[in-house]
Amino acid sequence: MTDGRKISPVVVIGGGMAGLVVALDLAKAGRQPVVLESDDQCGGVVSAHRVAGLTLDAGAESFATARPAVADLIAELDLTESVVQPNPNGAWVRYRAGTAPLPANGFLGIPGRPWAADVRRVIGLPGALRCSLDTVLPARAGIPVGTSLGGVVRSRMGRRVVDRLVEPVAGGVYAAEPDTLEVATVAPGLSAALITAGSLAGAARSLRTGSERPGSAVAGLVGGLHTLIDPLLTAIGDAGGMVQTGTTAARLNREPTGWSIDTDQGTTILAEQVILALPASAAARLLESAAPAAITAVLHTPITPVLICTLVIDDNRLDCAPRGTGVLVSSHAAGVRAKALTHATAKWAWLAELAGPGRHVLRLSYGRGDGTDLPAESDVAAVALADGAQLLGVALRPADVVDHAVVRWPAALPAPRPGHADAVRALRTGLDSVNLAIVGAAVAGSGLAAVVGDARQQAATLRNAIPQY
């Protein structure tokens, strides 16, 4: 019984990017979605904070350009003129034996031209010789389902490429070892590109979006990526959707007409269809009571907690961008706890202009395991300053730190293990039979391009499944 209360065609639980994108597409289709967000603001990892008087991205600060999903969304929101490219100098890599520019023409650390001087500088002559075997190994069968990124690169190009190039990139981007990442999720086009090109190096070249330096195959927005959220919320409202913040879904219950959602405020919301756009642990908690028969093991995959320390420093020695736009750090590199450093004022011209001469913004990322490796709260600023000095090759001084901020993301980087794609398909098939759907990084994998692209695909499917109102 619904006791006369209005039933919403669809309720989206979670107001991060995945939830907002699904809501936008369904609102444009006339479905009048309601978004429930537990926080007082939407956007999830696409958010802002103030440091030294600057409004900066607190989470994601760029999007990959190899996949068109984010660029298409930005165009729909009439923000294309705000899209900016990073400094083309590119990023560096810190590996066991030293620090060097990340080679050009690569993809996820996979070298596109193994004999190039910048590749040999990192993997050496023995590494380049072993890497060259890739061109004579069979490629027609592509990459077997369930293969890890580390496994395919090691088998075709050797250990040095994995340890010195792929592992630092995987750690910086996904906070995970390459042997734990499923190729089908983190690089869905790699298998087909391998078949077409006949080699992994050729596949890497084909998946690049141009000749730009590694670390530059991304784009951002003037003012920061967080400026995407307000136009997105406005578009949802204009299309007939509604976003309700400060509301946590505590329980899902089956009803004859669909679902009822009990909130932490003591209210109940009725829906024909429910879409979960939550971190994996929160989604699993709701599904335990709502759909016990669903295959939810994929939502219990270990997730790496991540900490980002932002330093604002007055030091004109950094004006020359000594390590390009930043450094990706191998877990085998000694003397550094950070997994990545972004020299934000060297990466983005708009931010350098906003900060002013001699003022620099550094973002250092931490987190490779279960969280026990993260610096203590009281030590973060000192650890980040020491790491920044090591990675940039400049003796940074505590007296020159104008301000700092620390943001913790406990569930922002799920690492898709081998078998992830099949497990997600099984989960979605089970949920479809009870009018539930799931989107977000927990199923799509890390990265804004992956999350937005997956959310839009799911919205397209749901438009045909939800009755028109």
Prediction pTM value: 0.92
pLDDT for 1 equals: 42
Residue of higher predicted confidence among 24 and 370: 24
The model's pLDDT over 344-356, given as tens digits with 9 standing for 90+, comes to: 999 999 999 999 9
Q: Amino acid identity, residue 197? A: A
pLDDT > 50? residue 469: no
**In the predicted model, what is the mean pLDDT of residues 237-253?**
96
The phi-psi region of residue 181 (left if phi > 0; otherwise alpha if psi is between -120 and 50; otherwise beta) is beta
pLDDT > 90? residue 217: no
Counting residues of the chain whose pLDDT is more than 70, the rounded percentage is: 96
Residue of higher predicted confidence among 294 and 214: 294
pLDDT > 90? residue 364: yes
E-strand ranges in 211-367 read 218-221, 242-245, 249-255, 258-263, 268-276, 303-314, 326-329, 340-343, 359-366
pLDDT for 194 equals: 96
**In the predicted model, what is the mean pLDDT of residues 24-35?**
96
pLDDT for 213 equals: 56
Domains belonging to the chain, first-starting first, are 7-43+225-301+416-465 (3.50.50.60), 62-88+219-223+302-413 (3.90.660.20), 105-209 (1.10.3110.10)
pLDDT > 80? residue 150: yes
pLDDT for 145 equals: 84
Quickly list DSSP for 416-449.
--TTHHHHHHHHHHHHHTTTEEE-SHHHH-SSHH
pLDDT for 420 equals: 85
C-alpha–C-alpha distance, residues 286 and 252, integer Å: 6
pLDDT for 411 equals: 77
Beta bridge partners of 7: 270
Counting residues of the chain whose pLDDT is more than 90, the rounded percentage is: 71
Among residues 348, 328, 347, the alpha carbon closest in space to that of 339 is found at: 328
Residue of higher predicted confidence among 332 and 230: 230
pLDDT > 90? residue 167: yes
Among residues 429, 426, 448, 452, the alpha carbon closest in space to that of 439 is found at: 452
Among residues 235, 307, 248, the alpha carbon closest in space to that of 279 is found at: 248
pLDDT for 214 equals: 55
pLDDT for 3 equals: 56
The pLDDT confidence band at residue 210, using thresholds 50, 70 and 90, is low
Parallel, antiparallel or unpaired: strands 34-37 and 242-245: parallel
**Cβ atoms of residues 387 and 340 within 8 Å:** no
**In the predicted model, what is the mean pLDDT of residues 118-140?**
94
pLDDT > 90? residue 58: yes
**In the predicted model, what is the mean pLDDT of residues 107-127?**
94
The model's pLDDT over 281-298, given as tens digits with 9 standing for 90+, comes to: 999 999 987 877 778 888
Among residues 86, 79, 352, 300, the alpha carbon closest in space to that of 213 is found at: 86
C-alpha–C-alpha distance, residues 150 and 182, integer Å: 9
Stretch among 24-38, 71-85, 206-220 having the lowest mean pLDDT: 206-220
The H or E element spanning position 99 is: strand 98-101
The pLDDT confidence band at residue 228, using thresholds 50, 70 and 90, is very high
The pLDDT confidence band at residue 305, using thresholds 50, 70 and 90, is confident
Parallel, antiparallel or unpaired: strands 326-329 and 268-276: unpaired
**In the predicted model, what is the mean pLDDT of residues 108-117?**
94
Work out the mean pLDDT of the chain and round it to a whole number: 91
